[in-house]
Amino acid sequence: MAQEKQRIIQEFVPGKQVTLAHVIARPTADLRRKVGLAADGASGPAAIGILTITPSEASIIAADAAVKSGAVEIGFVDRFSGSVLLTGDIEAVEAALQGVLRLLSDTMGFARAELTRS
């Protein structure tokens, strides 16, 4: 008797959530270059902050809140995928991500991801 193959279908159900909030402390030059945050030979930021958010348009709100919460710069924001990259010193990036998490979860009712660091 032949075994039946099982098929698994995963669906994305939009909700109000921050799915990732992470600080990369002291990113390597190769990583900074690969994500477009530093040119060859240029020194880059001490830290990179990463957020992914749904609905993706909330990435605009997150980027605005981040620059108002800490001395960071926006490295990248994509309102279609919900991705945000922030750069700055480690403490500033962490403070900015905490500010974004507070606004989105406490004020706007988003499900909150734990802030992680590597």
pLDDT in tens, 23-79: 999 998 888 888 888 765 567 788 999 999 999 999 999 999 999 987 999 999 999
- Res. 12: pLDDT tops 60: no
Class of the 17-117 domain?
alpha beta
pLDDT of residue 29: 87
Q: What is the mean pLDDT of the chain?
A: 88
Place of tokens 């499900």: 111
pLDDT of residue 36: 84
- Res. 22: pLDDT tops 80: yes
Consecutive H or E run containing 66 = helix 58-69
